[in-house]
Amino acid sequence: MVSQNVVVPDATTGIITVSTVSNSSVFTPSAQKPPTAPGHISISKKKLLKSLEINGDQSQRLNSWVDSMRASSPTHLKSLPSTSSEEELNSWMKRHPSALDMFERIIEASRGKEIVMFLDYDGTLSPIVADPDRAFISSKMRRTVKKLAKCFPTSIVTGRCIDKVYSFVKLAELYYAGSHGMDIKGPTKGFSRYNKDKPSVLYQPAGDFLPMIDEAFKQLVEKTKSTPGAKVENNKFCLSVHFRCVDEKKWSELALKVRSVVKNYPTLKLSQGRKVFEIRPMIKWDKGKALEFLLESLGFDNSSDVFPIYIGDDRTDEDAFKVMDFLRRLVEWKQI
C-alpha cells in the first residue's frame, strides 16, 4: 500500500505530479508529515554525482556514497532528529499537500482537458519487495489500471525492461516505456482507441549500447556473485544492481565492485535509487524525455488542452517531474 502526495503549485495550469510514499511503520498514520530532517531522503543531484564519481580519492567518496545509501534507507529514518518547527511543517505541507485531500481541486483543474496518465511500476503499481522478480501487481491494481486505460491514454514508465513489466501487468492496451524511457512501445493494435489511427509507437534511442550493456551485465554478475544478497538485473538498455538483501556491512564492498566495472565503460553512468544501483548509457534521455515523446506521439506536444498526471516514487522519477514542472510553467506563460 502507498499513500500519495501531490505537487500542484497552481491547479489551473493542468499539470499534476504525484509522489508515492511507502506506508511503513516509520511514517505517521496520516503519512502527511514532512521528512524528519531536511534532506534525509532526498540527496541533491550535485552531492550524489560527486559521491558516485569514478576518479579521484576513492575512499572519501566511497564513504560519502555509503552514507547516501544509508540515508535513503527507511530503516535509518527513526534515528534522525524530529521536526520541532511548526513553520517548517506548514511549509512542507504547502508544497506537498495530500493528493486525496486535494482530489476535488484536481478534478476541477482537469475539466475540459485530456487526461494522460503516466505510472511508475515498482513502489507505485506494485510493492517494493526483496526479490525484484516477485514484484507482482495485485489483481485489484491490474483491474484499476485496465479501467483507467479505457478512459485515458495510460503509460507505465519504469526502469525495468518492457518484457519483464509486461509479464507482470499483461495489459496490451497500455503504452510502455522501459529501461528508464529508453525502450518505448505503444499499445497492441486493436487494444486501444488512442492509437487506432496512428502508426505504432516504437522508439529505442540507446540501441547502439546493447552489446556494451550485455558485456557489463556479465562482468557485474561475475563481480558481485560473492556478495550474498546482491542481484544484478538486465533491463535491456540499462542494468540494476539490487542491494536490498545485502548486509549493510557489505555495502562498501559491493559499491567498490560495481564501480570497478563501470569505470571501464566511460559512456555508461552510475546512479543510485532505493537500495539499487542503476547503470545507464550516458545519453540525453531519461523518464522525462520519454514523457515528452509519449505526449508528442499522442498529439499533445505544445498543447494547453492536455492534463498529464505522473505518479512515481523514486529518484529516477524526478526527471519526469522536472518535465511536468516545465510544462506547467509553459502553460502559465501562455495564459499571460
Annotated catalytic residue: which of 10, 57, 101, 120?
120
Domain holding 223, by residue range, is: 45-82+207-281
Residues 10 and 104 in one domain: yes
**Distance (Å, whole) CA 48 – CA 170:** 35
Strand 276-281 and strand 239-242: the pairing is antiparallel
Residues 188 and 304 in one domain: yes
Residue 275 placed within a domain? yes
Q: Would you say 133 and 325 are in contact if contact means Cβ atoms under 8 Å apart?
A: no
User: Which CATH number covers residue 155?
Assistant: 3.40.50.1000
Sort strands 239-242 and 154-157 into parallel, antiparallel or unpaired.
Answer: unpaired
- Tell me, yes or no, whether 140 lies in a domain: yes
- The verdict on 269 and 289 lying in the same domain is no
| Whether residues 153 and 73 fall in one domain | no
Question: Is 149 a member of any domain?
Answer: yes
pLDDT value for 104:
85
One domain, residues 21 and 102:
yes
pLDDT in tens, 160-191: 999 999 999 999 999 999 998 999 999 987 78
Q: What local confidence, expressed as pLDDT, does residue 315 receive?
A: 58
Q: Are 148 and 190 contained in the same domain?
A: yes
- What's the grid cell of residue 182? 529508453
Residue ranges of the chain with pLDDT lower than 50? Answer: 1-13, 15, 19-57, 74-81, 83, 317, 326-327, 329-336
Q: Which amino acid is at 106?
A: I
Is 22:275 a contact under the CB 8 Å cutoff? no
214 is catalytic: no
Please report the pLDDT score of residue 218 as a whole number.
98
The tens digit of pLDDT for each residue in 255-291 reads 999 999 999 999 999 998 889 999 999 998 888 888 8
Same domain for 305 and 249, yes or no, is: no
Quick check: is 39 in a domain?
no
Q: Could you tell me if residue 34 is inside a domain?
A: no
Same domain, 135 and 221: no
Cβ atoms of 100 and 1 within 8 Å: the answer is no
| Together in a domain, 198 and 233 | no
Number of domains in the chain: 2
Q: Which residues of 237-265 are buried (b: 16+ CB within 10 A; e: fewer)?
A: bbbbbbbbebeeebbebbbebbbebbeeb
Q: State whether 194 and 300 are in the same domain.
A: yes
Distance CA 64, CA 232 (A): 23
Compute the distance between CA of residue 161 and CA of residue 183 in angstroms, rounded to an integer.
8
